[in-house]
C-alpha cells in the first residue's frame, strides 16, 4: 500500500503504518496480516491451542495476538474461536450456583387434598376464552379443565377454583403450580 503510493484505506489509518525490514506492513507496531482465513486460523491456534499457551481466555488470546499481529475484525474472530473451543468449553468452571437436590413430593393422604395447578395459554379463542386452568389431584390424577382468559388475575383464578373444584371436593392441603411454588393451606 505504502510502496504503491496509496494514501487511504477503509480498514486502517495509513498514517499509523510503516514498512518493516522484510517488506511487511506494520500497523501500530504489529504486522498487518492480509485477509486469509487459513493464516488467521494458524496464528490463532499458535496463540491459543499450543500447550505453552494453555488455552487462555478471549482477552488473553487477543492480547497475545495483538503484540505481534493485526487484522481487521481480529477481536470478533478471536471471540468466535474461543467461544467454540471444545477444550475451553469442557474445562470452563461453572458460574451458576450448585443445583439443589431433588426431593420427591410426599404421597397425598387422600384424594383432592393435594393438587397441582397449571395454565395452558395462547389457545385459539373459543367462547371468549383463550386459556385453560388445569387442576389435577396428585393422588388419583383426576383433573378439571376450566376455560378462562389469559388475562385473568389471581382473584379470577381463585373464583374459578372455588366455583369448579372446591364446591365438588372441599378444602385441600397443598397446591403446587407449574412455577415450582407450593402453597400450603393450614386450617
77 and 135 fall within a common domain: no
pLDDT at residue 4 greater than cutoff 50: yes
What value does the CA radius of gyration of the chain take, rounded to a whole number of Å?
32
| 3 state DSSP class of 48 | helix
47 and 79 fall within a common domain: yes
**Distance of alpha carbon 97 from alpha carbon 74, whole angstroms:** 33
- If you write DSSP's letter for every residue of 120-168 in order, what string do you get? E-SPPPBTTB-EEEEEEETTT--EEEEEE-TT--HHHHHHHHIIIIIHH
Per the domain annotation, does 126 fall within a domain?
yes
131 and 84 fall within a common domain: no
pLDDT tens digits along 97-118: 888 888 888 899 999 999 999 9
* Residues contacting 96, CB < 8 A, separation 6+: none
pLDDT tens digits along 157-183: 999 999 999 999 998 888 888 654 445
Dihedral, CA of residue 151, residue 155, residue 157 and residue 160, to nearest 10: -120
40, three cell numbers: 488467521
pLDDT at residue 153 greater than cutoff 80: yes
Domain end (from 58, 91, 124): 91
Per the domain annotation, does 17 fall within a domain?
no
* Band of pLDDT at residue 81, cut at 50, 70 and 90: confident
How many domains does the chain contain in total?
A: 2
137 and 76 fall within a common domain: no
* Residues contacting 9, CB < 8 A, separation 6+: 1
**Distance of alpha carbon 4 from alpha carbon 158, whole angstroms:** 80
123 and 66 fall within a common domain: no
71 and 127 fall within a common domain: no
CA-based nearest residue to 32, from 73, 74, 69? 69
Does pTM surpass 0.85?
no
For residue 138, the domain's CATH number is 3.30.420.10
State the residue range of the domain holding 140.
Answer: 114-184
**Distance of alpha carbon 119 from alpha carbon 95, whole angstroms:** 32
* Band of pLDDT at residue 73, cut at 50, 70 and 90: confident
| 3 state DSSP class of 88 | helix
**Distance of alpha carbon 111 from alpha carbon 113, whole angstroms:** 6
**Maximum average pLDDT range among 20-29, 41-50, 101-110, 137-146:** 137-146
Per the domain annotation, does 122 fall within a domain?
yes
176 and 119 fall within a common domain: yes
pLDDT tens digits along 118-139: 999 889 999 999 999 999 999 9
Per the domain annotation, does 165 fall within a domain?
yes
180 and 119 fall within a common domain: yes
More confident residue, 43 or 160: 160
CA angle (62, 64, 67) in 5-degree steps? 105
Average pLDDT over residues 32-55: 80
Amino acid at each position: 500500500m505504502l510502496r504503491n503510493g496509496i494514501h487511504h484505506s477503509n480498514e486502517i489509518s495509513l498514517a499509523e503504518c510503516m514498512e518493516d525490514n522484510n517488506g511487511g506492513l506494520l500497523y501500530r507496531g504489529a504486522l498487518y496480516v492480509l485477509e486469509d482465513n487459513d493464516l488467521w486460523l494458524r496464528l490463532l491456534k499458535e496463540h491459543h491451542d499450543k500447550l505453552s499457551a494453555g488455552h487462555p481466555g478471549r482477552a488473553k488470546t487477543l492480547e497475545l495476538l495483538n503484540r505481534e499481529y493485526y487484522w481487521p475484525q481480529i477481536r470478533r474472530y478471536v471471540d468466535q474461536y474461543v467461544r467454540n473451543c471444545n477444550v475451553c468449553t469442557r474445562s470452563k468452571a461453572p458460574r451458576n450456583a450448585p443445583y439443589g437436590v431433588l426431593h420427591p413430593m410426599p404421597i397425598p393422604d387422600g384424594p383432592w387434598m393435594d393438587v397441582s395447578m397449571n395454565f395452558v395459554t395462547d389457545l385459539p379463542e373459543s367462547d371468549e376464552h383463550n386459556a385453560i386452568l388445569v387442576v389435577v389431584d396428585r393422588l388419583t390424577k383426576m383433573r378439571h379443565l376450566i376455560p378462562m382468559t389469559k388475562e385473568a388475575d389471581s382473584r379470577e383464578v381463585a373464583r374459578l377454583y372455588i366455583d369448579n373444584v372446591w364446591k365438588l371436593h372441599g378444602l385441600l392441603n397443598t397446591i403446587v403450580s407449574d412455577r415450582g411454588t407450593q402453597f400450603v393451606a393450614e386450617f
